[in-house]
Structure 1
Amino acid sequence: MFQTVSDILKIAAALPGYALMHVLARIPKKRNLVIVLAPKNGAFVDNAKYAYLALAESPEIEVCYVTPKRAVATELKAAQLDGVRMPSPRAIWLLMRCAIAVGCDYEAFRGLSGNLLGGAKRIQLWHGSGIKNVSVDSPNVAHLRHRRIGRLRLEFKRKFPVFDLFYFPSRINFEKRKNTFRYRRAALNGLLRNDLLTDTSVRPATALIGTDLKCGERIGKDKAAGRRLVIFAPTWRTMDRYDVGERIPFDFARLNKLMETLSSTLVIKLHPTMRDHFDLAAFSNIVEYDRHGDIYPLLGAFDLMISDFSSLIPDFALLSRPIILYLPDLGSLIAEDRFSPSELDRFMGDRCLDHDRLYDAIEDALLKHKKISFTQTAEFHEFKDGLNTARFVSDVESMLGLVPSRSGSETLAVRHDTRITAA
């Protein structure tokens, strides 16, 4: 009874926004206007960044990057690019008038921004590898989907919006996730950010916007000096506690000494939602990269990656360089349903479940330089041609009607019924 009342109240609270979305669908759209929505943290990063940069080069497309962060909009304007903070009168007007909205996560299409997009076509670039369990797979959501009123609650709150175009990076990934998301058309295309890794000629000057320039200078200096570069890039664990040093054992003093011995530098790049703060002043061989900064323009400089089940793993594997899967809290991750035990065999790299073995694994990886073949990455990446961005732009031009009807990406599925069904 209590659950039903709670559902009804949440549906009632969501009704005004849901109604607004349908009213705004009647407003005429500007034929060539595309809005790129920043990811959850508001930064100029990930596939949203590269979608914007590619569309900004088209003289026929008007594009704007919408972000909740004033500093990001200011940085874009300083680079002669169009960025606007949301909420603001201009951002609201652009969201109401745009023909297409592009994003790389769910959160960008929710809330007020999602309500204002009534009538616009939506493109979901996504950002993950298919290893992690996502929120739509969670037991709480499954419970709602089993109940009719729960499905209504998800629909009116637009917890899982419907996308006109949803990209899957591989056929295997599509088979695994095809019933996870809501879309009208599913298409095969790689992650736009990976064009920087698979085609070294794809490196516009604007790619450095949104990066950690200070740390980038250190990376470039050490690389030029012949030092090996190691990146430690874990994904988030829990939202309400510190992870590195507690849940993820990490001895900075020992690592600093090891880096000195191996003439190497360790760069720590945390997930944006992680709360950890480090004082690295005493460690000359360890630096921290801004957790909100874009690492992809610099990823090709690294000789070794230490991570866990982050989406960076299959992306870095495209470089055929050694990877250490550091999972000292594996049991907890499985218990928390972050991924299933059957997924472990899909992880690429040398598995390290013990803190004490980590240091030997680092030395072994840097000295032996174990490579990862493209056949191991095929499950995650259908393409290694550096044309993911070009296929995306072609799709956008087609959806805007700027070119004869065609598609840059291969259609995997078309759905006419996008209702939320029982799990």
Structure 2
Amino acid sequence: MINSLPNKRVIREVFLALRQLLTAILAWLFAYPLTCLFKRDPNLTLVIGRQGPVFADNSKYFFIAATQFAKPNERIVFLTDHRSIQQAIVEAGGKAVMHPSWRSLYLVLRCTTLAADMSDWFDYGAYPLSSGARRVQVWHGAPLKRIELDLYRERLVIMPAWAGFLLQMQKKLLGRYPKYDVVVSTSQDFTDRAFSRCFNTKEFIACGYPRNDVLLGWPEPDKVTAALLDVNVDLSALATVRKAKSQGTRIGLYVPTFRRDLANPFAEDMDLARLSAFAVRHNCFFVLKLHPFMQGRYAVDRYPNLLEYAPLGDVYPLMPLCDFLITDYSSIFFDFLLLDKAIVFFAPDLAHYLAQDRKMYFDYDEMTPGAKCACYEELEQQLRLIVDHAGEDGFARRRAEVRAFTHDFVDNRAGWRLYHALASKKN
């Protein structure tokens, strides 16, 4: 009997890989020939969401932008594997279809543009069925840590030649690490230094991330857009924060990074009782956005002035209300730079993380414009300085420098730019 979570996880991943491989083989044998028979609809764009009850990140916000800006004869359809998300999108006035289903696979076969922000979009035969369509990778975060092709190359180097060859054949069959038509980035500098190493694509478009539009105020939302923006948002937490904000309370958002080895330094290094006492003493309110793996394990809400945000919820509508961000290695801080507010980097396991989990594209100290805290005492000291100085942390100039490198645009028009860039390339 297997009791450890890592072993259960390995078995689950093996079964997933086998299922994906079998699906891909069947799709190439029986579905791919259909791409030669069916003409693609130039007015059909599909957006594939991530697995589970999730409607968030760039897939959500590109879908909303495309829905808002689409011409009357265009169809923008979101594909999801969760019934609650599909129903919520339809009730809000958008178009959504369950995936996989006969209907969704037919849409993949007919679409001219297919967009996704995760690496597993290829599943259920979507890669062979989308042959001839324009594949757009919007991705879900500017890379501080190594991702995608760089991680794949590292894996190939340490494998025996025969195993590496089999792995490459498997990935080609699945459509993992494909050559995209378009990959979206946040700046040309970021493209040159990081994105170009992560993805194989015909073109990079440095238009910014659609999800960041909501940080700076969505451009003139209509009724449908406003309703879609609320889907998968923790509205209860949002209301609580708005109330606290209206009373003059400073809001902090804490977003720790998930570790690949399932390690959880949050439990070892973060003292929730002390953080709560600090919040009460200094009229602060902390929102914790934890990984789903940590959901409900710490009874966060029993501590005064602490609140756990829904782990799978879309946190971006909350971020403009926050006065400062606490994180470690999450790329969310690149997005938070657009708000020009204090960021504290609480990274007690930095050396271990770099050695055991992920290498980085940039020097951590140079790319993180904020105080670095190696223990809880240092974190509380830095938070006290921010509170005492009305939100200022002394890093405004450095934030501006990093923001200029990572963002070519500081506005709420990324979704608009991406939609029109893709529309201009239609055949």
TM-score for the superposition, normalised by structure 2: 0.84
1:321-332 aligned at under 5 Å gives the runs 321-332=341-352
Unaligned runs of 5+ in 1: 1-8, 402-423
Q: 1:193 to 1:106 in 2, by over 3 A?
A: same
| Greater displacement, 97-106 / 78-87 | 78-87
Partner in structure 1 of residue 135 of structure 2: 122
Q: 1:188 aligns with which of 206, 215, 240?
A: 206
Q: 1:375 to 1:153 in 2, by over 3 A?
A: same
1:203-222 aligned at under 5 Å gives the runs 204-206=225-227, 207-222=229-244
User: 1:101, 1:183 → 2: CA distance?
Assistant: 14
TM-fit CA distance, 1:385: 2.9
User: 2:312, 2:27 → 1: CA distance?
Assistant: 30
| SS of aligned partner of 1:245 | helix
1:363 equivalent to 2:363? Answer no
Partner in structure 1 of residue 359 of structure 2: 339
1:389 equivalent to 2:415? Answer yes
Q: 1:20 to 1:169 in 2, by over 3 A?
A: farther
1:99-110 aligned at under 5 Å gives the runs 99-110=112-123
Partner in structure 1 of residue 335 of structure 2: 315
1:47 equivalent to 2:47? Answer no
Say whether the 8 Å CA contact 1:30–1:98 is kept in structure 2: yes
Q: 1:312 to 1:182 in 2, by over 3 A?
A: same
TM-fit CA distance, 1:346: 1.1
Kindly provide the CA deviation profile for residues 192-232 of structure 1, in whole angstroms up to 9, marking residues without a partner as x. 11122245655552322220011111011111111110110
Matched to 1:156, the amino acid is: L
TM-score for the superposition, normalised by structure 1: 0.85
Q: 2:176 aligns with which of 159, 179, 186?
A: 159
1:15-414 aligned at under 5 Å gives the runs 15-20=25-30, 22-26=32-36, 27-57=38-68, 58=70, 59-138=72-151, 139-143=154-158, 147-176=164-193, 177-199=195-217, 201=219, 204-206=225-227, 207-238=229-260, 240=262, 242-246=264-268, 249-272=269-292, 274=294, 277-340=297-360, 343-344=363-364, 345-368=366-389, 369-370=392-393, 372=396, 373-401=399-427
Q: 1:281 to 1:381 in 2, by over 3 A?
A: closer
What percent of counterpart residues are identical? 25
Matched to 1:277, the amino acid is: R
Q: 1:18 to 1:349 in 2, by over 3 A?
A: farther
User: 2:220, 2:315 → 1: CA distance?
Assistant: 15
Q: 1:46 to 1:272 in 2, by over 3 A?
A: farther
User: 2:35, 2:158 → 1: CA distance?
Assistant: 31
Q: 1:341 to 1:130 in 2, by over 3 A?
A: closer
Matched to 1:390, the amino acid is: W
Q: 1:393 to 1:145 in 2, by over 3 A?
A: farther
Say whether the 8 Å CA contact 1:18–1:157 is kept in structure 2: no
Matched to 1:235, the amino acid is: T
User: 2:405, 2:31 → 1: CA distance?
Assistant: 38
Matched to 1:194, the amino acid is: N
Q: 1:141 to 1:214 in 2, by over 3 A?
A: farther
**C-alpha RMSD of matched pairs (Å):** 2.5
